[in-house]
Chains A and B, each alone.
Chain A
Amino acid sequence: MEWQEVVIRLFKNKISLIGLILIIFFGVIAIGAPWIAPPSDPSEPYMVPRAGWGFEPQPPSSEHIFGTAEGQYDIFYGIIWGTRTAFRIGFIIVGISSFIGILVGTLAGYYGGWFDEVVMRITDIFMAIPFLIAAIVMTTILGQGLRNVMIALITFGWMNSARLMRSQVLSIKEEEFVIAADALGAGDFRIIFKHVILNTIFPLVIEASMRMGSMVITASTLSFLGIGAPEGYADWGQMISFARNWILGGEGNAIKYWFTVVIPGGAITLFCLSWNLIGDAFRDILDPKLQ
């Protein structure tokens, strides 16, 4: 199937269209952040401005349309600039871990033998470690900060891609056109990049778009647990962690501080949902066998 056709079908499918619109919406917000929420200090745009030093969150007002979180951090500003953080986390983690996974899986599947055995057993060892705990421990060791969160999530996030790619390569390398390329005198490098990877990449694209959402959630979880972004950094997980003391509401009113949870939570949910919708649509379009 050609790319144009994939794109046309993505737009024709209502579910994927919703996903696409959401992603485009978030994309516009991320790109337009400096205009939507102008930073007071342009040298540090990711630091959320504070409207005071009070402890209690303040409800939405004309000045702070989403209200302020604990410590008077402006929720609106945090959400807008947090979109950029979410995209950055998603693209970097998924991009690098998929790359590692594709490389490892392809080489293991293509060369086989003892190399495959060694590489896949290492992959198994990585898979045997509980993902979240491993990420927490590693981030703690490396030190707080988004960069270290990303390193930890990449380190423990490539195995599924590797396995998926390996299984794909194993089936495609028995295809006659790969043997035919070999019989034409093509080198390994050429066969892998021209004939193998292009014919096996689609499931990886699906998996990657599904993982975009979950990686952002995991990064937010680490921020929520206090080992992600530094305090005051525009990050959705951090915005939710500000709500930790206020989730149960106040005297006689359980939803008094709803905005501290619902707004950043909604942002994360919609972001993940949109990637999952696109992933689902990709799968429907690219893999008719799964329908």
Chain B
Amino acid sequence: MSKEKLIDVNDLATYFHTEEGTVKAVDGVSFEIYPGETLGIVGESGCGKSVTSLSIMRLIESPPGKIENGEILFNGKDLTKLNQKQMRKIRGNDISMIFQEPMTSLNPVYTVGDQIMEAILIHKDVSKKEARQEAIDMLTKVGIPLPEQRVDEYPHQLSGGMRQRVMIAMSLSCDPQLLIADEPTTALDVTIQAQILELMNSLKRQFGMAIMMITHDLGVIAEVSDRVAVMYAGKVVEYADVKDLYGDPKHPYTWGLMYSIPHIEKDLERLEAIPGNVPNPLNFPEGCKFNTRCQFATDKCRVDEPELEEVEEGHYSACWHVDKLEEQKAKQGRG
């Protein structure tokens, strides 16, 4: 990929200073997104996915949260250095965001039209009438039937899937270059999920924007992403093309996740799971943060923290024992 990077996150660290101690929610995360591609960010609850996205938007509540380190280069501009006013121009206009809960991410006291128009009126120099027309056009683009009628309805009159479409219409109304989708389908049922993902894929082509898709659902990631970053305890532990990652995971955590997905062909007595829980963010273990749950962990893992290293072309993994994982995979392949 020789294209210019759209967004380049370097060594981002966001900490929350609470009374019980410092929570290192995001601790040295780096990735980049190119124009028009979808980067998937996957991980368990509490691994720092959402904090990463909120950091990019600079929506971390401060105090207690603070971006401690790193840079977020968006078209070459470091977002961490902008003031709130400059940031407001970027939010919604260049980078926009959709959220997990379509039920609560729309304001109940305004019509959907008002809310889509809000974004347009903030960023574009248009009259109310033109903004309304644009809102109707957006509703058409996101596949809402009878947009002229829907535009004057209140959120409670729409179903969950419809509301998520409205949210997408809102976030795309100013033609952003990057759309951050924070678990956009988690609250929807499976058929609606598929529709929303399909919609996002087609809008991505239509608008030519990049998407940062945050989810804990490996199926969703497989469906939409070009590349994937797997996060664990505030770090990216594996970073690769979606095909490489699914075909040949190089980190024990990713491997464990893949292994714990039920397969329709296999008739299993019980599901495999990664033992243990995500460590308490106030008290992460020394060394590799996955060492408490990793079957390959050695003394080295408990002392030194591995860095992301290129193990194959374009495939990065932060693990001391990629070789051991390969052995295990080979064994299982035979067995």
Name which of B90-98, B125-133, B260-268 contacts chain A.
B90-98
Contacts of A180 in B (CB 8 A): 97-99, 105-106, 167, 170
* Closest chain B residue to A183, Cβ basis: B97
B119 touches A184 (CB 8 A): yes
Which of A182, A184, A190, A199 is B170 in contact with, Cβ under 8 Å?
Answer: A184
Interface centre among B88, B96, B98, B106 (most CB of A within 10 A): B88
B167 touches A185 (CB 8 A): no
Q: A185-B89, A190-B122 given. 8 additional CB < 8 A pairs? A: A176-B104, A179-B105, A180-B105, A180-B106, A181-B107, A181-B118, A183-B96, A194-B110
A175 to B59: give the CA distance in the assembly, Å.
Answer: 14
Q: If the complex has contacts A176-B99, A194-B118, A199-B109, are A184 and B104 also in contact, measured as CB distance less than 8 A?
A: no
Q: Which of A241-288 contact B (CB under 8 A)?
A: none
Q: Which of B104-121 contact A (CB under 8 A)?
A: 104-110, 118-119
A176 to B106: give the CA distance in the assembly, Å.
Answer: 7
CB of B219 within 8 Å of the partner chain: no
Please give me the 5 A-B residue pairs with the lowest Cβ-Cβ distance, nearest first.
Answer: A184-B92, A185-B92, A185-B91, A176-B105, A183-B97
CB of A52 within 8 Å of the partner chain: no
Contacts of B118 in A (CB 8 A): 181, 184, 186, 190, 194
Q: Which of A151-196 contact B (CB under 8 A)?
A: 175-177, 179-187, 190, 194-195
Contacts of B57 in A (CB 8 A): 183
Interface centre among B89, B100, B170 (most CB of A within 10 A): B170
CB of B171 within 8 Å of the partner chain: yes
Binding site for A on B (CB under 8 A): 57, 59, 63, 88-93, 96-101, 104-110, 118-119, 122-123, 167, 170-171
B59 touches A177 (CB 8 A): no
Contacts of B106 in A (CB 8 A): 177, 180
- Closest Cβ of chain A: how far from B158's Cβ, in Å? 14
Contacts of B98 in A (CB 8 A): 180
Which of B90, B96, B104, B122 is A177 in contact with, Cβ under 8 Å?
Answer: B104
Contacts of B119 in A (CB 8 A): 184-185
5 contacts between A and B (CB under 8 A): A183-B171, A184-B170, A184-B171, A190-B118, A199-B109
A182 touches B91 (CB 8 A): yes
A179 touches B99 (CB 8 A): yes
- Closest Cβ of chain B: how far from A166's Cβ, in Å? 17
CB of A42 within 8 Å of the partner chain: no
A54 to B130: give the CA distance in the assembly, Å.
Answer: 75
CB of A141 within 8 Å of the partner chain: no
A179 to B122: give the CA distance in the assembly, Å.
Answer: 16
A28 to B37: give the CA distance in the assembly, Å.
Answer: 69
B59 touches A113 (CB 8 A): no
Which of B59, B63, B167 is A182 in contact with, Cβ under 8 Å?
Answer: B59
Contacts of B93 in A (CB 8 A): 185
Which of A177, A187, A198, A199 is B105 in contact with, Cβ under 8 Å?
Answer: A177
* Closest chain B residue to A180, Cβ basis: B105
A194 to B91: give the CA distance in the assembly, Å.
Answer: 18
B92 touches A183 (CB 8 A): yes
A185 touches B122 (CB 8 A): yes
- Closest Cβ of chain B: how far from A245's Cβ, in Å? 55
- Closest Cβ of chain A: how far from B170's Cβ, in Å? 7
* Closest chain A residue to B154, Cβ basis: A2
A195 to B155: give the CA distance in the assembly, Å.
Answer: 14
* Closest chain B residue to A173, Cβ basis: B61
- Closest Cβ of chain B: how far from A28's Cβ, in Å? 33
Contacts of A182 in B (CB 8 A): 59, 91
Q: Which of A66-91 contact B (CB under 8 A)?
A: none
A113 to B99: give the CA distance in the assembly, Å.
Answer: 26
- Closest Cβ of chain A: how far from B174's Cβ, in Å? 8
A185 to B120: give the CA distance in the assembly, Å.
Answer: 10
Contacts of B170 in A (CB 8 A): 180, 184
Contacts of B123 in A (CB 8 A): 185
A185 touches B108 (CB 8 A): no
Q: If the complex has contacts A177-B106, A195-B107, A199-B109, are A184 and B101 also in contact, measured as CB distance less than 8 A?
A: no
- Closest Cβ of chain A: how far from B124's Cβ, in Å? 11
